[in-house]
Amino acid sequence: METMELGRTGTQVSKLALGAMQMGGATSEADSIRILDRYLEAGGSFLDTADCYEWWAHRGSRGGESEELLGRWLRNRRDRVFLATKGSAVPAYSDELWNADGTANWELARRTFAGAGADTLRHALDGSLKRLGTDHVDLYYVHVDDVGTPLEETLEALSGLVTAGKVRYLGWSNVRTWRLEAIRRLCERYGWVAPVALQQQHSYLRPKAGNASASIVGAEQWDYLTEHRDLQLVAYSPILKGVYDDPAKRAGHWMMENYAGPDVGARLAVLNEVAAELGSTPNRTVLAWLLHQARPSVVPLIGPKTPEQLDDLLPALEIKLDASQLARLEAAGA
């Protein structure tokens, strides 16, 4: 697996990142270990988790299962990985976080996220470090942008975590472009450590007109990233839960709610044509397309639930799209 520079930090990371959200929850420990070992063997080094993963997997959880599992696996491997985790999105514990049928009450969770207050982040990071069994993380994200806490408080606290040696680099996730600009200006004004990574949802399909999500890269945010090359885009849900390979799954999947629009059919048609030319699958072709992006560059963050799903996606690393194929994929649709 090839590596690339993270933003303009000078630090090399693998071009494909591995998300551990389901590890310790939906994915068993045995399968999680197989996925992690296979990714490392393939040359991968960029691991991503969060302190809230995966509280919604079962009633009574407070999150942290993913970090705990990674902590066990990381023993004698810590120096081989670039480790990212996140804070701010653990909801206040309550029995009401789960509905009667055991599903998560996301409406309540979103109203009670821990947020990005200074003390909250300091305690959250200490908890993450303990679960991960390490004295530092390479990248620490504000998981969910907290507009209720002054940015100055959050940024000063985060900068202090870097100064203390507990964090190497900072990032932000699920955030609007205007907030990114405010963050950058405050860091420049006060000499605080600025974020070098932005983790957002990004894929081949374009978000639909009127999409109000702060979590999905739109045209404005793409332009912003093009002009600010020191901010690395890490794209989560790059294959939208695998819907590109399965029309039946795509037709009824909630993930499509943010993407249904007039150019979906045209983009899928070209994607399928190019995939056929390559002897590949649409999912792999989407990953390859993202890996070919240069302005701005993209680190796709995959989250396979099983070892078989990882093995199905890794061949995307070998796909070479020529200039004509890239142009057709880019031009497809409205």
Pairwise CA distance, residues 85 & 156, whole Å: 19
Each residue of 45-65: pLDDT tens digit? 999 999 999 999 999 999 999
Written as six digits, the tokens of 57 are 């997997």
Pairwise CA distance, residues 209 & 262, whole Å: 9
Tell me the mean pLDDT in the region 179-208.
97
Pairwise CA distance, residues 9 & 266, whole Å: 38
Report pLDDT for 31.
98
324 falls within a domain: no
Pairwise CA distance, residues 14 & 44, whole Å: 5
- Residue 272 pLDDT > 90: yes
Tell me the mean pLDDT in the region 257-269.
92
Report pLDDT for 302.
98
Pairwise CA distance, residues 330 & 243, whole Å: 19
- Residue 209 pLDDT > 90: no
- Residue 89 pLDDT > 80: yes
Q: Is the peptide bond before 296 cis (omega within 30 degrees of 0)?
A: yes
- Residue 294 pLDDT > 80: yes
Q: How far is CA 42 from CA 72, 83, 138, 186, 316, in A?
A: 20, 17, 21, 40, 12
266 falls within a domain: no
274 falls within a domain: no
Report pLDDT for 195.
98
Written as six digits, the tokens of 316 are 């995307």
Q: How many domains does the chain have?
A: 1
Q: How far is CA 270 from CA 201, 244, 267, 274, 311, in A?
A: 22, 12, 5, 6, 25
130 falls within a domain: yes
210 falls within a domain: yes
Q: Are strands 3-5 and 12-14 parallel, antiparallel or unpaired?
A: antiparallel
Report pLDDT for 212.
87
Report pLDDT for 211.
87
CATH code of the domain in which 32 resides? 3.20.20.100
- Residue 125 pLDDT > 80: yes
Q: Are strands 17-19 and 46-48 parallel, antiparallel or unpaired?
A: parallel
- Residue 334 pLDDT > 80: no
Pairwise CA distance, residues 63 & 50, whole Å: 9
Report pLDDT for 262.
87
Which segments within the chain are labelled E, that is strand?
A: 3-5, 12-14, 17-19, 46-48, 82-87, 137-142, 167-173, 197-201, 232-236, 298-302
261 falls in which pLDDT band (50, 70, 90)? confident
Report pLDDT for 280.
97
Domain residues for the domain of 177 are 3-245+290-319
Pair 252, 289: CB distance under 8 Å: no
Written as six digits, the tokens of 275 are 């995939």
333 falls within a domain: no
**Mean pLDDT taken over the chain:** 96
DSSP-H helix ranges across 133-239: 151-163, 177-190, 219-227
Distance from the Cα of residue 43 to its chain's centroid = 19
Ordered DSSP codes for 284-331: HHHHHHHHT-BTTBEEEEE--SSHHHHHHHGGGGG----HHHHHHHHH
Report pLDDT for 210.
86
313 falls within a domain: yes
Q: Are strands 137-142 and 197-201 parallel, antiparallel or unpaired?
A: unpaired
225 falls in which pLDDT band (50, 70, 90)? very high
Look up the pTM and report it: 0.96
Report pLDDT for 133.
98
Report pLDDT for 222.
97
262 falls within a domain: no
3 state DSSP class of 83: strand
33 falls in which pLDDT band (50, 70, 90)? very high
Each residue of 174-183: pLDDT tens digit? 999 999 999 9
Question: Residues of the chain with pLDDT > 90: what percent?
Answer: 94
Report pLDDT for 175.
98
Tell me the mean pLDDT in the region 22-31.
95
Question: Residues of the chain with pLDDT > 70: what percent?
Answer: 100
